[in-house]
Amino acid sequence: MNAIKQTITSGKTAIGTTAGPNIDVSVLADAGFDFILFDTQHSPYEIKQLAPPVQAMRGKKAAPLVRVAANQADQICFALDAGARGIIAPMINTRAEAEAMVRSCRYYPLGNRSNAGVRGEWGEFPKYRDYLDTVNKELVIVPMIETRQALENLDAIASVPGVDVLLIGPSDLSIELDVPLDYACDTYQRALDKIAATAAKHGIAAGMYFIPPGMEPNFFVDKGFKFFTMPWGPWAATGIQNAIAGIKR
Q: Which is nearer to Mg ion, 86 or 143 (CB)?
A: 143
Nearest-CA neighbor of 11 among 210, 196, 183? 196
Q: Give yes or no for residue 16 binding ligand 3PY (CB under 6 A).
A: no
Determine whether 42 is an active site residue: yes
Q: Measured between alpha carbons, how far is 64 from 2 in angstroms, rounded to an integer? A: 11
Q: Does 169 bind Mg ion (CB under 5 A)?
A: yes
Interface map 88-127 toward Mg ion (x if CB under 5 A) = ----------------------------------------
Query: Closest distance between ligand 3PY and the C-beta of residue 235, in Å?
Result: 20
Query: Which of 91, 123, 87, 117 lies closest to 103 in space, CA to CA?
Result: 87
Does 172 contact Mg ion by CB under 5 A? yes
Choices 50-58, 142-150, 159-167, 215-223; region in contact with Mg ion by CB under 5 A: 142-150
Question: Count residues contacting ligand 3PY (CB under 6 A)?
Answer: 8
C-alpha closest to that of 167 among 71, 95, 90: 90
Q: Can residue 220 be called a binding residue for ligand 3PY (CB under 6 A)?
A: no
Residue list 65-124, contact with ligand 3PY (CB under 6 A)? 90
169 is a contact residue toward ligand 3PY (CB under 6 A): yes
Task: Measure the CA–CA gap between 99 and 48, rounded to whole angstroms.
Answer: 24
The item of ligand 3PY, Mg ion, none sharing an interface with residue 227, based on CB under 5 to 8 Å by kind, is: none
CB burial class (10 A; 0-12, 13-18, 19+) of residue 246? exposed
Within the chain, strands assigned E span 14-19, 35-39, 63-67, 86-89, 140-145, 165-168, 205-210, 225-229
Catalytic residues, which ones?
Answer: 42
In the complex, the residues that contact Mg ion under the rule CB under 5 A are 146, 169, 172
The residues of the shown chain that bind ligand 3PY, judged by CB under 6 A, are: 42, 90, 146, 169-172, 209
